[in-house]
Amino acid sequence: MERTNRILESLPDYFTVWDTESNIYKFMTALGKQIDEAEKELTLIMRSHWVDKANLEDLDKIGSLFNMPRKNNEQDQEYRSRLKRAIIEYQGGGTKNAILTTVNQELGLPQNSLIELIENPPKEVIKEHIVNSGDIWEMSSESIFDTEPIIELSIHSEHDKIENPSITNLETNEVITYNGIIKKGQTIKLEKGTKKKNDEKNPPKVLRKKHLWSYKEPISKEIGVFDSSVFDESKFAVGIPTIKIGFKWVANTPATFELRIPEKVIPLGKEFKSIQDTVYAIKASGVTAIINLVKE
């Protein structure tokens, strides 16, 4: 009757719309009912196109649009959730929001749940090189950024000491030198802000791209001296010391994201593999997904 009343109120008084027995009143009442019924049918048609409202055959028709037929004995609610995930996967393109939305729906959680997605998660990188003076090696930061490493020097061979060793990034020509003696069993750490016995305050940066490094130290005058002696003194050939150089830094892993899911939000009976399958289905090709359950 709401539509009928609105029509009648818009007519002038001389139509005697207030008379319920008049022809104009009866005609407008019948017209209003028809419009109300048409609106109801239109609403039902609209709702049948909405995944959250569609049921039975209407839901099956939506599934056919995404080539996702209903499974055997699959109820509307379960089928509806699976369709919504597919729609997000189709539209989201593996974005952060699409992944979080899909996982939250898989677990029956609101969008602002405790699930956390960390892009380019940090990881500790440790590289060790056994080198002699003049050796060159290749390295990269394995990160989306250049990074400032911590460098550790120690003697790897049987020599008692080394003096004034230096390390160079051959790409940037940055050099750090330890002006002093490193004895057998001693480890010297060079890191950002180091000042003691160093020409440079900070070690050279490790770059994102692959690049070359070198190690040098002054060569002892005793190396290569053969059959030489003086009164009351003997000289022997001294080998070239071997040094262990350790690099340590924190890298932001490229093409990777970490999904942290609190254990308490996972419903009973929900298998971890189903969560993995959901994430692997929506993530972009070539991107690594790390899924961790977080205990509190």
User: Which of 48-57, 72-81, 114-123 has maximum average pLDDT?
Assistant: 114-123
pLDDT in the model for residue 267? 85
Alpha-carbon gap, residue 248 to 255, rounded angstroms:
21
pLDDT in the model for residue 41? 60
More confident residue, 250 or 105: 250
- Spatial CA neighbour of 203 closest among 253, 195, 84: 195
What is the percent of the chain with per-residue pLDDT over 90, rounded to a whole number?
Answer: 39
Give the residue ranges of DSSP H helices in the chain. Answer: 2-9, 23-48, 56-65, 76-92, 96-107, 272-282
Work out the average pLDDT over 70-77: 79
* Chain centroid offset of residue 293 CA: 15
Distances (CA, A) of 110 to 218, 269, 288: 65, 19, 25
User: What average pLDDT does the structure give for the chain?
Assistant: 81
Asked if 238 contacts 222 with a C-beta cutoff of 8 angstroms, the reply is yes
3 state SS of 266:
coil
123-252 CATH choice from 2.60.120, 1.10.8, 2.60.40, 3.90.380: 2.60.120
3 state SS of 11:
coil
pTM of this prediction exceeds 0.85: no
Beta strands in 158-263 (DSSP E): 161-163, 166-169, 174-177, 181-183, 188-190, 211-216, 229-230, 233-234, 242-252, 256-262
Q: Rounded to 5, what percent of the chain is helix, strand, coil?
A: 30, 25, 40
Report pLDDT digits (tens) over 132-184. 999 999 999 999 999 999 999 999 988 889 999 999 999 999 999 999 999 99
Work out the average pLDDT over 214-240: 62
Pairing of strands 229-230, 233-234: antiparallel
Domain boundaries, the chain: 2-48, 123-252
Decide: residue 48, CB within 10 A, 0-12 exposed, 13-18 middle, 19+ buried: middle
Report pLDDT digits (tens) over 182-200. 999 999 999 987 655 444 5
Work out the average pLDDT over 220-231: 52
* Chain centroid offset of residue 272 CA: 19
